[in-house]
Structure 1
Amino acid sequence: MRTFLILVAVVVVVGLGVAIYMLKPVTGPARDLTLTANAERGAYLIRLGGCIGCHTDTANGGAELAGGEGLVTPFGTFHAPNITPDPNAGIGNWTLAEFSKAMSDGEGPQGHLYPAFPYENYTLMSDQEIVDLFAALQAVPPVSTPAPPHEIGFPFNIRLALAGWKNLFFHPHRYEADTSRSERWNRGRYLVTGPGHCVMCHSPRNALGAIEAGQELTGNPDGGTGGRAPSLLAASLVDEGYDLDTLAQTLADGFTPGFDVLGGAMGEVISESTAYWTQDDREAAAAYLLEED
């Protein structure tokens, strides 16, 4: 009996220890939110980060940034929320600090955010970019129509469980340049792994929905969009006929070296995001993906 009680006590202690670890807050470095905002720079960040493509239900004629069509995943269907400054349906009542926490630590006023929202990538953004982006979103026309709720079942609808997911897979931090590489290469790496979040769709996921370590940009048979997201490794791109100029051009107009036109989810990424990037940013992303300095 004594041995049994000792075993029970050990299990309880270990269980409590695991629970404490899995539920502890996951936060990155503190941000300076006193910086002067520039909404014009923020408007570019809206395009750079793919906000319009995800948060606008273009297929059904939805208002810009008022909520996106469903993103079908193995865990259920996620609907990108209304991020216009409407105080009820959107984020009009959010403070800059709350917005920063959502972008940086994946936690909104309602609790932990699902990683279908790519805060794993947005956490790399600079303090100035967060301040500018918030100012730009506060300047768009408010829309009073709320986005549909997520369509996810038990146990994935328990937001508290996301604390455990974050402790396992999320490591919030700011982008750190590789000083051994060029400024263009670093800009491209930042775009691909940061706000452009190419790595999010073009990497395979494990059973818990996290990117498989060491397999970044190797492609995803699902892609989180119901379609295949191909490999973006340099060798794969070269096999498809890409060089720096053609890849940058494809990001501008969707035409591939094989005289095809990219459609579906990638077509939307191009038409609503990368087509608006500067030529320098498109070339930087292409240089990083093709392993060119």
Structure 2
Amino acid sequence: MPSLKANDGINLYYRTYGSIGATPLILLHGFTGSGEVFRRNVNTLSQDHYVLVPDLRGHGSSDKPKAGYHVARLALDLRNFIDHFQFQEGKISAIGTSLGAAILWCYCELFSARAFSHVVFVDQAPLQNYLTDWGPEYGNRGCNSPEALGKMQQTLETDPRAAHIGTIAACLGYRSHPRPDDPTAGSKEWEDDEVFFLGEALKGDGWWYGKLMADHTANDWRYSIAQNLGPDSGSTTKVLVVAISRSGCFPAAGPLKVVELVNGGIKDGLARGVIVDWGGHWCYWEKPEMFNKLVLDFLL
């Protein structure tokens, strides 16, 4: 697997799919994942796009430094990739799932949204913690306060397997919001998914993950999104927000706030949102055909 040396010397591994002359499409995975979480999507998405799938630093096959546990550092890594491939500004599409969405918001704050023609944000609210004006109707269902963060950090260090099993339970819709026809405990799909996601998560260090989550939960992206993607920004980037009615991580109203922030009250603005019920936080894994169609219809 090829790698890129970031500007601070850290090796970042990635995969590419499709023709290098096609429109670039960058896929950014979430917390404790890797580029492998998109293995069910890349063949279809690369038919008309040149798909770049990095492993975030601290994740997957990329280097595991002690430093760099900031969303801003991950956004700079994204900039390193864009510069390395010499992607044309304004011609790039990107999908950010969970933490990946925050990386894109941070990128737009640091470097503007000019690089992107289209962006897709999958099941990530612009703020995780509960504040006086932001509570359980919008924020994260689990890690939403300093106390909850502290418990997560402790478990990530002392019992990482249990911590990652908890993440899997929240992120797969058939576990967080089961239906009668869903896979059940002990079934092949249940066991195979657990082995895969647990294996990817255990490639990273629990202490480092905890520090990254501390930075992630501390950020309030609401004003940044409005400033850098909203109607007064001059941005022409088209936005699709995918909210999940069966997510164990966020109520659908949280991610959909991004649509309001981008459109700024303008009818038929640049952002639109959809609520899907055919999967959970990792809907692209659970129902790849449906996710791929949703994304490709938007990218047309």
TM-score using structure 2 length: 0.26
State which structure, 1 or 2, has the greater radius of gyration over its C-alpha atoms.
1
TM-score using structure 1 length: 0.27
